[in-house]
Amino acid sequence: MQGGNQTSVSHFILVGLHYPPQLGIPLFLAFLVIYALTVSGNGLIILTVFVDSRFHRPMYWFLCHLSFLDMTISCAIVPKMLAGFLLDSRVISFGGCVIQLFSFHFLGCTECFLYTLMAYDRFLAICKPLHYATTMTHSVCNYLAFGTWLGGTLHSLFQTSFIFRLPFCGPNRVDYFFCDIPAVLRLACADTTINELVTFVDIGFLALTCFVLILTSYGCIVAAILQIRSVDGRRNAFSTCGAHLTVVIVYYVPCTFIYLRPGSQEPLDAVVAVFYTVITPLLNPIIYTLRNKEMKAALWRLVGRKDVQSHELHAS
């Protein structure tokens, strides 16, 4: 069978993570807590930026997009994992698998572009401060953010259509905890050499290009920061950029491990995948809030305001 119309598989079975049966409930509770903290943490950052006018700046506008992406990636992967831990529900429809794979790569690629955009924003702010306000206008920020989403959409459409045009006529056990390219390709009833090569080149080219642009931006940033005479000025600049560099490293290292090693089937891949699909979306808001004094202060003000409003309501 060679055509997509000959696909006979109606559903897939997500094998999931390999763990002793007695750990099902503890793992469910652990991932549920992580999921709740991820959604609430990223949601709180978005709320803070929208509520506090002091954060109506390009850097925090892009941070809102990053928080939304992290929150959505977690929502695309973790609920199905939780169902597997608690109910042993591992079946996903063929269409559901397509949607999950598309969503994950759409959001992940958009995030990759967004990291590059955030590095460019910091480059302009630190290296071209006199031109920053006129360059990064509100409309320009909107266009740039829209470009990251459009780029992620086109990339994911290409990858998803290229994979699911293959025939799936027999095996349907996905040896993974979600529908991702390497695991799904192993189930195709056709030669997938071209698909693996295209995936490697496509993702590798995008990731490498974005990473080089980020490193170039930060090379210029470091050179500019070292010329700042004020110790406090250097510290503040390094603190802001350090948060972004940290999340970039946390994002790129696991993705490189998974996608730039074609044909890998090591169990360690699943552990690494858990890190960048479940843990990284939780780490990003923590890293940005702990390393950003403005954000920490704003979060305390927001929480304090809610406490005051709640007290006033009870008093009335």
Lowest mean pLDDT among 63-77, 89-103, 183-197, 239-253: 239-253
In a domain, 163, yes or no: yes
Contact (CB, 8 A) for 211 and 255: no
pLDDT of residue 277: 86
Q: In the predicted model, is pLDDT for residue 311 greater than 50?
A: no
pLDDT of residue 18: 78
Q: In the predicted model, is pLDDT for residue 316 greater than 50?
A: no
Between residues 74 and 20, the one the model is more confident about: 74
What per-residue string of b and e applies to 45-57 under the rule 16 or more CB within 10 Å gives b?
bbebbeebeebeb
Question: Confidence class of residue 182 from pLDDT cuts 50, 70 and 90?
Answer: confident
What's the whole-number average pLDDT of the chain? 83
Percent of the chain scoring above 70 in pLDDT: 86
In a domain, 276, yes or no: yes
pLDDT of residue 5: 46
Q: In the predicted model, is pLDDT for residue 262 greater than 70?
A: no
In a domain, 315, yes or no: no
Structural domain for 57, as ranges = 4-306
pLDDT of residue 304: 66
pLDDT of residue 314: 45
**Whole-model pTM?**
0.84
In a domain, 51, yes or no: yes
Lowest mean pLDDT among 107-111, 186-190, 231-235, 275-279: 231-235
In a domain, 314, yes or no: no
Q: In the predicted model, is pLDDT for residue 309 greater than 50?
A: no
Q: In the predicted model, is pLDDT for residue 313 greater than 60?
A: no
Q: In the predicted model, is pLDDT for residue 142 greater than 70?
A: yes
Domain count, the chain: 1
In a domain, 54, yes or no: yes
In a domain, 238, yes or no: yes
User: pLDDT tens digits for 61-107?
Assistant: 998 999 999 999 999 999 998 888 888 778 899 999 999 999 999 99
Contact (CB, 8 A) for 165 and 157: no
**What is the SS3 string spanning the chain?**
CCCHHHCCCCEEEECCCCCCHHHHHHHHHHHHHHHHHHHHHHHHHHHHHHHCHHHCCHHHHHHHHHHHHHHHHHHHHHHHHHHHHHHCCCEEEHHHHHHHHHHHHHHHHHHHHHHHHHHHHHHHHHHCHHHHHHHCCHHHHHHHHHHHHHHHHHHHHHHHHHHHCCCCCCCCEECCCCCCHHHHHCCCCCCCHHHHHHHHHHHHHHHHHHHHHHHHHHHHHHHHHCCCCCHHHHHHHHHHHHHHHHHHHHHHHHHHHHHCCCCCCCCHHHHHHHHHHHHHHHHHHHHHHHCCHHHHHHHHHHHHHHHHHHHHHHHC
What mean pLDDT comes out for the span 169-187?
87
Give whichever of 5-14, 100-109, 217-226 has the largest mean pLDDT: 100-109
In a domain, 99, yes or no: yes
CATH number at 81 reads 1.20.1070.10
